[in-house]
Chains A and B, each alone.
Chain A
Amino acid sequence: MASSKDEQQQFAQKIKPLQPKPPLVKNCVKAFLTGGLICIIGQALMEFYMTFFNFTDKTAGNPTVATLILIASLLTGLGVYDKIGQFAGAGSVVPVTGFANAVTSAALEHRSEGLVLGVATNLFKLAGAVIVFGAVAAYILGMLRYAFATFM
């Protein structure tokens, strides 16, 4: 039999002092430092492409992102990125490298079920939500911008 709401609340109250508290401040600092480090690497890559390959600050973004994705995917395949993620939390999930990790890890995981039904079907299992909400947000903002540009 399922327990009543009262019982559940009582239990939650009772066990609270026995449960470890998530170290919020420490986690935030770690996320900030790691996320910042990833951004510094990105900035360095951008400068590199601008200095040596004739990219402008408008066009250097693409090769920079591609390089970060490549690095993150390689680190995922080598089994390193999940350890970084455990340390950094959101710091390594939010940047583009986290997106690359979500896609690559799903691909690796489902390799055993074949290329079509395994890898291709599951590739966006985790990252799909990001794409859906990214597209929806872009659509709404785009419409708003259009509306403001036309009627104001």
Chain B
Amino acid sequence: MKLLGRQTWQFADVFLNTAGTAVGPLESEGPLGDFYDKAYNNLHCNEKNWELAERRLMEDAVSSCLAKAKLTEKDINFFLAGDLLNQIVSSNYTARGNEIPFLGIFGACSTSMESLALGAALVDGGYADRIIAAVSSHNATAERQFRYPTEYGGQKPDTATFTVTGAGAALVSRERSNVKLTGATIGKVKDLGIKDPFDMGSAMAPAAADTIAAHLNETGTNADDYDLIVTGDLSGVGSPILKMLLQEQEIDISSNHRDCGLMVYRPDQPVFAGGSGCACSAVVTYGYLVKELEKGNLNKILVVATGALLNPTMVQQKESIPTVAHAVVMEHAKEV
């Protein structure tokens, strides 16, 4: 069975072979700083402007992913990528450079797991031998896209999140490795009326809760079956809301829930409620969690990337913020 219930995929034979990450200065000073493949000590990443900096990060993530697998761009069938900018420009221009047949996708910050789930489905269905799934985000490009100029001195509330500067890429194929992708649940778009773009944790928690509940229900598993249930960027505000929403459905994740937005920075870094952005879940998952799975320190995890499908124009027209969450199951596999 490849489809479980309505929205969950079960993969038979798909592995995450290698992963690459690149981050900016604040992330490399964070608690997971040693796990990233490439770190820049300046937010411009030695480039002329912010957009070029973000593109550089994505290119770096893809090339370290390829280098670890000892492959070149020509060995890859499809490149599935997305980012937060209009027309997903970072992905488009990275794809222009690497010339891998390209599927651009947008799911805001949920794009990390959306691209991985889609890629895994293509590979498992036999429509591809090898794919690379990649995402990027950059604090300054996101600020410019969604909020104010970077140097503008407006005050942000404590519920605000801080967009992670970085990129993550994963190579997926049927060749065995220590990390097996065994399933994915595609989320529904949820909107419970939050209109504050500085409180995306509250907006996204219902989407995460819905996807997690659907996943557990359709796979017939319990929350305890996972060493970790990791959400993308609910931050300090959304995480307790998620736990409360799941508690109402008698699902208890209080012992094994972590949030990438809280893992990527130290509490004393100036990031308000925590990290956010496509790269938030990507660098934590591909940089840290995948390594723990490879070593066998973690056995089975559920990564739930959360995305606020925020558009500044719509928010100014008094619309609320739709959100979505996609989940991928990753398991430790013994190599043969």
* CB of B86 within 8 Å of the partner chain: no
| Beta-carbon nearest neighbor of A89 in chain B | B155
Contact residues in B for A84 (Cβ distance below 8 Å) = 153
Contact residues in A for B190 (Cβ distance below 8 Å) = 3
Shortest B312–chain A CB gap in Å is 12
| Alpha-carbon separation in the docked complex, A92 to B154 (Å) | 9
* CB of B5 within 8 Å of the partner chain: no
Partner of A8, one of B156, B192, B273: B192
Contact residues in B for A92 (Cβ distance below 8 Å) = 153
| Alpha-carbon separation in the docked complex, A67 to B34 (Å) | 46
* CB of B77 within 8 Å of the partner chain: no
* CB of B241 within 8 Å of the partner chain: yes
Contact B151 A104, beta carbon cutoff 8 Å: yes
| Alpha-carbon separation in the docked complex, A104 to B156 (Å) | 19
Contact residues in B for A82 (Cβ distance below 8 Å) = 150-153
Shortest A142–chain B CB gap in Å is 30
Contact residues in B for A20 (Cβ distance below 8 Å) = 157-159, 236-237, 273
Task: Please choose the segment from B48-56, B89-97, B104-112 that sits at the chain A interface, where 4 or more of its residues have CB less than 8 A away.
Answer: B48-56
Contact residues in A for B236 (Cβ distance below 8 Å) = 20
Central interface residue in B150, B151, B159, B202, by most chain A CB within 10 Å:
B151
* CB of B31 within 8 Å of the partner chain: no
| Alpha-carbon separation in the docked complex, A92 to B320 (Å) | 30
| 8 A Cβ contacts from A98-143 to B | 98, 101-102, 104-106, 108-110, 112, 125-126
Contact B153 A101, beta carbon cutoff 8 Å: yes
Contact residues in B for A14 (Cβ distance below 8 Å) = 244
| Alpha-carbon separation in the docked complex, A18 to B51 (Å) | 36
* CB of A57 within 8 Å of the partner chain: no
Shortest B10–chain A CB gap in Å is 27
Q: How many residues of B are in contact with the other chain, CB < 8 A?
A: 33
* CB of B127 within 8 Å of the partner chain: no
Contact residues in A for B273 (Cβ distance below 8 Å) = 20
Contact A85 B50, beta carbon cutoff 8 Å: no
Contact B237 A19, beta carbon cutoff 8 Å: yes
| Beta-carbon nearest neighbor of B199 in chain A | A19
| 8 A Cβ contacts from B151-206 to A | 151-159, 190-194, 199, 202, 205-206
* CB of B149 within 8 Å of the partner chain: yes
Shortest B83–chain A CB gap in Å is 17
| Beta-carbon nearest neighbor of A9 in chain B | B193
**A18-B241, A18-B244, A20-B159 as given contacts; A108 in contact with B151, CB under 8 Å:** yes
Contact B153 A109, beta carbon cutoff 8 Å: no
Task: Please choose the segment from A39-47, A48-56, A73-81 that sits at the chain B interface, where 4 or more of its residues have CB less than 8 A away.
Answer: A73-81
| Alpha-carbon separation in the docked complex, A78 to B52 (Å) | 21
| Beta-carbon nearest neighbor of A10 in chain B | B192
Shortest A3–chain B CB gap in Å is 5
One digit per residue, 1 when the CB lies within 8 angstroms of any chain B CB and 0 when it does not, for chain A 5-43 equals: 101110110110011101000010000000000000000
Contact A12 B193, beta carbon cutoff 8 Å: yes
Partner of A11, one of B50, B155, B193: B193
Contact A11 B192, beta carbon cutoff 8 Å: yes
* CB of A71 within 8 Å of the partner chain: no
* CB of A2 within 8 Å of the partner chain: yes
Contact A3 B193, beta carbon cutoff 8 Å: yes
Contact B155 A19, beta carbon cutoff 8 Å: no
Contact residues in A for B241 (Cβ distance below 8 Å) = 15, 18
Contact residues in B for A18 (Cβ distance below 8 Å) = 237, 240-241, 244
* CB of B334 within 8 Å of the partner chain: no
Partner of B144, one of A77, A85, A109: A109
**Leading 9 A-B pairs by shortest Cβ distance:** A85-B153, A8-B193, A109-B149, A112-B49, A105-B151, A89-B155, A105-B149, A11-B192, A105-B152
Residues of B that sit less than 8 Å from A by CB? 48-51, 144, 148-159, 190-194, 199, 202, 205-206, 236-237, 240-241, 244, 273, 320
Q: Given A8-B320, A18-B241, A109-B150, 7 other A-B contacts at CB below 8 A?
A: A2-B191, A8-B193, A12-B194, A22-B158, A85-B155, A105-B150, A109-B149
Residues of A that sit less than 8 Å from B by CB? 2-3, 5, 7-9, 11-12, 14-15, 18-20, 22, 27, 76-77, 79, 81-86, 88-90, 92-93, 98, 101-102, 104-106, 108-110, 112, 125-126
